[in-house]
Chain A
């Protein structure tokens, strides 16, 4: 008995009852398609999120005021802190520092108004956050020194107020009623809704301190955040240690009583990878359950088939079929059924993943599902294994039939 002959006979037997074979296969098709689609959507989401986090900039360290819950006395972060961190003698692992003030602001032009996030920064911010402009220039050192009334628009803001992102340099917009000259427009970084990285305006730090912070009566020196970039990826932990030592010294706090918090971009990446990993396993697990159900369907149908063909099995045994021959015959049938279902399922899953990608793109999300070779391989092996596993019991029932009784069966 040879593989090709067995396969041919299995196909003959399966095609002799097309509806039943088709319905049985459907269980596996749906299971495999679900596994493929879920894994690829999961991997796509993971790639998309990782990409978005990398867009923030690399080797980043964020410092924000405020510490653990039990720290009641909080000193704000100040320009003095930022300058100290920027000092290469005190913090040799830190390459660049970008102090920052954030608040909400209403941007108006010609009667149109748009509420957005205001970022007040220094020139180094461009390099630290990896800001690229589609038009014009970013804020420079002179503008920071001169407290210039200049603004760089995020692409969403430009779109919202002007309906375009080009040819806006030189135009004037009003922030809280005060005129600012547009000097540049940022390139879109992607993300949407709450995750949008394009819905903000950027002005010089000093301008914000003079025009907005002083108005609100706050300390003019106060910062909302200090961003630092380390010299290399490996130096990130060292840079964090240096920053924390500097700030503890300047704020006169003990270890464990920090009135500031640092976190690394790497931490965010790691957390995101963990979340998407768990999500992918979770989705894949649910999909695997449907594959299991499909497998039970195969076992059910194979049991029916064995009962129906008891006489045939008896005849084959009378003609000299050994236990093994019958076992192989029925295992080949169930494996063929599930493998064919698996292949169709892979194609269907691929299509589903593609469709999800299209829907995501159509709704403005930058998201491409990834159908990996590993998930295809996994689904193929898994579906064949399901066929074999759930075929074993019916096949061994067939193989252990006694020829006399099987031949007598009506």
Chain B
């Protein structure tokens, strides 16, 4: 258990839409080891986004247990969840979600500020930006950066608090194929060199192919689990 970063046990999530109850997740159990790179795939409506929200502590499961890096999550209140997200989860979004008014540096500093770090924020943010290859762009605003560069800033922001895992939601979805490949390469490199646990939610099987394990969802359940290249029919 100790080498497990993520441990889900029979997690369900039910939404009420008026009179109708929708079972977005019907009972999902999974374990992800520290340092693993996992892809979560599945068609629209398979519960992919819901699972990602729960894994990222943005939402609570309706039932079941979720343990993240040794902490039980499902009973925490909003502020405690915020603290967990801050310390243990690094988000990379499809649409980057950078603050348009702030510089790359200020964007990367943001999680450190919410962590209550007082001194050395700038140094640490600068180091992280250098490690994603943007050491010469720290004063630029998002509008002055290309899509690939913006996503690198977002990755730096995800990494700056040294989280237990990085959760990437279609990280290459808004990029051309070349910068998409570069971003994917960067994520995999960070996974190898830093040992950061990586979870990629994607439609794209070529993205999934770079990971060590693929979890495929359908109708709120895990349909299949396999090593890329040995895809079951």
Assuming the contacts A12-B102, A13-B101, A311-B97, asked whether A319 and B110 have C-beta atoms less than 8 A apart, the reply is yes
The count of chain A contact residues (Cβ–Cβ below 8 Å) is: 23
A322 touches B58 (CB 8 A): no
**What mask results when residues 142 to 160 of chain B are scored 1 for a CB within 8 Å of chain A, else 0?**
0000000000000001000
Q: For chains A and B in complex, what number of residue pairs have CB atoms within 8 angstroms?
A: 61
B192 CB-CB contact with A under 8 Å: no
Within B28-84, the residues touching A (CB, 8 Å) are 53, 56, 58-59, 78-79, 82-83
Q: How far is the CB of B51 from chain A (nearest CB, A)?
A: 12
B58 contacts A403, C-beta separation under 8 Å: yes
Measured CB to CB, the closest approach of chain B to A49, in angstroms, equals 54
Contacts of A312 in B (CB 8 A): 99
1/0 contact string of B82-103 vs chain A (CB within 8 Å)? 1101110001010001010110
Known contacts being A13-B101, A404-B53, is A318 close to B83, with CB within 8 Å? Answer: no
Q: Determine whether the beta carbon of B101 is less than 8 Å from that of A323.
A: no
Given A320-B85, A320-B86: A325 and B58 within 8 A (CB)?
A: no
Q: How far is the CA of A320 from the CA of B102 in the complex (A)?
A: 18
Bits for A268-292, please: 1 = Cβ < 8 Å to B, else 0: 0000000000000000000000000
Q: Are A320 and B83 in contact (CB under 8 A)?
A: yes
Q: Quick one: closest A residue to B80, CB to CB?
A: A322
Residues on the B chain within 8 Å of A403, using CB: 58-59
Q: How far is the CB of B57 from chain A (nearest CB, A)?
A: 9
* Residue contact A318 to B114, C-beta cutoff 8 Å: no
Chain A 386-402, CB within 8 Å of chain B: the 1/0 string?
Answer: 00000000000000001
Interface contact B56-A320, CB-CB below 8 Å: no
Tell yes or no: A112 within 8 A of B by CB.
no
Is A315's CB under 8 angstroms from B101's CB? Answer: no
Q: In this assembly, does B115 line the interface, its C-beta being within 8 Å of a C-beta of chain A?
A: yes
**With A12-B101, A403-B58, A407-B58 in contact, is A322–B110 under 8 Å at CB?**
no
Q: Hey, which chain B residues are within 8 Å of A407, CB to CB? A: 58, 93, 97
Per-residue CB contact flags for chain A residues 313-335 toward chain B (1 = under 8 Å, else 0) read: 00111111111110000000000
Closest to B161 in A: A320
19 A-B pairs whose Cβ atoms sit less than 8 Å apart in the complex: A1-B114, A12-B101, A16-B101, A311-B97, A312-B99, A316-B114, A317-B82, A317-B85, A319-B85, A319-B111, A320-B85, A320-B111, A322-B78, A322-B82, A322-B114, A323-B79, A402-B59, A403-B59, A407-B93
B interface residues (Cβ-Cβ under 8 A, vs A): 53, 56, 58-59, 78-79, 82-83, 85-87, 91, 93, 97, 99, 101-102, 110-111, 113-116, 118, 157, 161
Query: Nearest 9 A-B pairs (CB), nearest first?
Result: A320-B86, A320-B114, A322-B79, A315-B97, A322-B82, A403-B58, A319-B111, A404-B58, A404-B59
